[in-house]
Amino acid sequence: MSAHTNLAGIRRDYSLRGLDRSDLLPDPIAQFRVWLEHAVQAQAPEPNAMTLATVDAAGAPAARIVLLKGLDDRGFHFFTNYESDKAGQMEANPRVALVFHWIELERQVRVRGAVSRLTRADTEAYFSTRPRGSRLGAWVSRQSEVLADRAPLERRLAELEKRYPGEDIPAPSFWGGYAVAPVSVEYWQGRPSRLHDRFLYTRRPDGGWRIDRLSP
């Protein structure tokens, strides 16, 4: 970016489509599956990429991009190192938020909920589908550890390649999955003049969902 770039002048008017209450399914997970498939069909790069926001025990927020790797009635699934900063933050405070942004469709989805660990069976089932390099990488990386350079990573990788020369690489005990059980899900569709369409699903006491249109 040039030092003279006019950030205030960068804007895009959204005009692809609108969003009405009648377009939405009663369940936000089912609706998410529809929008995710639209993003896949639109060839959005990494349509399952999502921002995961966490808060630590002191109340300090943090956010990073992770990948959605499963979706069912337990919520939105992702996997990480249990010894990472984000895992420690989720242990201290299980309330998290997710954001999906598909600029090709002028759409955004925001999720708020509580995170919990998936079962070991879930972790092992997913781990077995990962490419060999990714499985080795899960063993190599002591996520969030301070490194002086890449040499320790390269040494650990070489050692593990010798230990596991084939495809039979077990999931590390310090690595696994989480599910975010939503309490609210917002669907956002860009519209001209920043008069966007927003609909919020909120979990009711009876387990169903209330849907409200929000002002942009």
Q: What would the DSSP string read from start to end of 19-40?
A: --GGGS-SSHHHHHHHHHHHHH
CA distance 19 to 198: 8
Using an 8 Å Cβ cutoff, are 192 and 36 in contact?
no
> Which residue is catalytic, options 120, 194, 210, 213?
194
Using an 8 Å Cβ cutoff, are 135 and 169 in contact?
yes
Give percent of the chain above pLDDT 90: 85
What is the SS3 assignment for 72-121? ECCEEEEEEECCCHHHHHHHHCCEEEEEEEEHHHCEEEEEEEEEEECCHH
pLDDT for residue 15: 86
Q: What is the pTM of this model?
A: 0.92
pLDDT for residue 46: 97
pLDDT for residue 7: 86
Tokens representing residue 85 in the block:
């900063």
Q: Which domains does the chain have, with CATH numbers?
A: 14-128+172-214 (2.30.110.10), 132-170 (no CATH)
pLDDT for residue 9: 85
pLDDT for residue 43: 96
Judged by DSSP in three states, 208 sits in coil
**Confidence check: pLDDT of 4 > 90:** no
Known catalytic residue at 120 = no
pLDDT band at 167 (very low <50, low <70, confident <90, very high): confident
**Confidence check: pLDDT of 13 > 90:** no
pLDDT band at 2 (very low <50, low <70, confident <90, very high): low
